[in-house]
Amino acid sequence: APRVARAWRRFQAGYAHYPGTHRFGYYGPMHDGAVWPLGLIPRHLPLAPTWRIVHPPSGDQIAECYAPDFEIAEVLRLCRRMRDEWRAGVAILRAVARRRRLDSDGREQVNVARALGVHFSSGFNILRFYALRDRLLAAEGKRRRSLLLHQLRRIVLDELRNDRELLALCRENPALGFHSEAEGYKYDPQRIRWRMRQLKTLLRVEFPRVQRNISRVSWEDPLGLGDPVRSHPCGAFDKRSQMAADPFHPDWDQPTVARCQNWAAPRASEARRAFPFNSTLYPIPARRAPPARLAWRAAADRERLVFCLELQDPPRAKAGREEIRLAFEPRRLGPWIRFTITREGRVLPEGGFSGCAGRDWCARAATREGSTRILFGVSWRALGVRPREIAAGMRLRMNAQRFFDPIADPLRMAGRPMLNSWAPMRRTLPRNLHGYLDPSNYGWLQIASCRNAQRRAAALGDPNPRINSIFREQPSSSSMEDRRGGLYRDFRLPTRGVRRLGRRPRPTLPPSVLGKNPLFRKVR
């Protein structure tokens, strides 16, 4: 009895390190990570809810289960501690089982503890696999990338061992893998064997392909083959330009226009099926798709990103409930950030799920000659993008969508919504707090070096020298380069970013800034 009690104390100490956020419980890998497929090549596939069995297997968008509540390093530290403590407790129980003859209940408890140990080990391996994959795609030097690729291979081999152990435990205890809320099995011997075949294919196919082009791989081109990606150029404007205040300014005719020509909607044949099949979105073929109802342009400088959204409605279109959604993924392993905008120019709150804190964004709608345009601006600070990335030029994963008849309650989705998207759509099931957000349907916004773009704009001159920028001008002193937060001092950042910067920012912008700019009166 004392040894068993000591084992349970180790279990308690380990489980105390479980990342305490609802996201990790809803979408994390600790429930059924042993049957999650792994991908060395980024596919940006979403995670499946842990309490349902109707969704496809979870993908590689691992940040959906912890961001913005945790950083990837924090989650790895917690899960490693939980795995190690649980392993120590299992070792004590197995030592007791070897010394004493246990009855069926005792053997079942030991097997369940071992199965949970496999859960925690696989969950940690999945998180570490995608953290290392991100480092691989961002690393410099062939030697460094080869070392990271070797570590990824070792994780896959460790997962094969975990699957073999869990497969043997499932044969002894058929109840393993059953989820009471899902009313079904999250894993069983058949799914475990499928995952083992997927891991072997990963070692045989994807690892050699990446190894052959190890010096050319990147996040946009993970195979180093120069394959084209869906991208759109972002324009640039000078601080003196009126583009940031007037959606009908003539300068908005210069940036390239992007049209949302992809459509998705539920099928009428599935209207009577149970949730979530009655609300599943299916892509509409191009030959039957309606004309584009949303077009957008983008321009940026070193401080903010501004979108000019144009609503392209037919002359006799019926007015109804609709939303415009701009989704961003500025960080590989960070939170997705989504803004929901009404046609009146109001920014709706995302209930704390978008991962973007503060009020450093605003929107404004204007109508002229029957045409409606919405100007939306957001600071780079709100997106978590550093100034040096903007100065050097970068690509930002994003998507623009217009949602007709949106579903207000994510827990009781019903109705016939239609989605007009810039990036191509695929079959999408609603996912509770993530809704219809599908990170695999993003494109890339190509942002040129703002330093060179501003220099060219200044050379051309501007007839109106008045400064009417959306956000406060930053001083040109050396404090802008202060690593302790001089550049980020006046804007609220996500919690983890604030901790790294070492200084807590003020919660809102100063009143003097709000009074000078007409757009700030529209801030919600």
Domain boundaries, the chain: 2-212, 231-462
Beta bridge partners of 325: 340, 401
- Distance between CA atoms of 211 and 76, rounded to whole angstroms? 26
The residue with tokens 């609503």 is 311
Could you say which DSSP state residue 271 is in?
T
In 3D space, the residue among 452, 185, 78 whose CA is nearest the CA of residue 301 turns out to be 452
Is the N-terminal amide bond of 387 cis, ω within 30° of 0? no
Chain-centroid distance of CA 123 in Å reads 18
**pTM for this structure?**
0.78
- Distance between CA atoms of 524 and 520, rounded to whole angstroms? 9
Please give the structure tokens belonging to residue 347.
Answer: 């920014």
The residue with tokens 């979870």 is 58
- Distance between CA atoms of 140 and 142, rounded to whole angstroms? 7
345: left (phi over 0), alpha (psi -120 to 50) or beta: left
The residue with tokens 């996912």 is 431
Please give the structure tokens belonging to residue 501.
Answer: 């910067």
Please give the structure tokens belonging to residue 345.
Answer: 């120019």
Where b means 16+ CB within 10 Å and e means fewer, 389-427 reads: ebeeebbbbbbbbbbbebbeeeeebeeebbbbbbbebee
Tens-of-pLDDT digits for all 524 residues of the chain? 888 999 999 999 999 999 988 899 999 999 999 999 999 988 888 999 998 888 889 999 999 999 888 999 999 999 999 999 999 999 999 998 888 877 888 888 999 999 999 999 999 999 999 999 999 988 888 899 999 999 999 999 999 999 999 999 999 999 999 999 888 999 999 999 999 999 999 999 999 999 988 887 776 666 655 555 678 999 887 767 788 888 999 989 889 999 999 999 988 887 777 777 777 889 999 889 899 999 999 998 888 899 999 998 887 777 778 899 999 988 888 878 889 999 898 888 664 444 444 467 889 999 988 889 999 999 888 888 887 777 667 888 999 999 988 765 544 555 578 899 999 988 888 787 777 888 888 888 988 765 554 444 444 333 332 222 322 222 222 222 222 222 222 222 233 333 333 333 433 433 443 344 333 333 33
Helix or strand holding residue 403 (H, E) = strand 394-404
Residues whose CB is less than 8 angstroms from the CB of residue 260 and which lie 6 or more positions away in sequence, other chains included: 292, 293, 294, 295, 296, 400, 401, 402, 420, 421, 422
pLDDT in tens, 472-508: 222 222 222 222 222 222 222 233 333 333 333 433 4
Is the N-terminal amide bond of 68 cis, ω within 30° of 0? yes
97: left (phi over 0), alpha (psi -120 to 50) or beta: alpha
Alpha-helical segments (H) within 174-296: 189-201, 207-212
In 3D space, the residue among 170, 161, 169 whose CA is nearest the CA of residue 125 turns out to be 161
Please give the structure tokens belonging to residue 486.
Answer: 């001089």
Strands 371-379, 304-311: pairing kind: antiparallel
Fold of 231-462: Immunoglobulin-like (2.60.40)
Residues 444 and 396: beta-carbon distance below 8 Å: yes
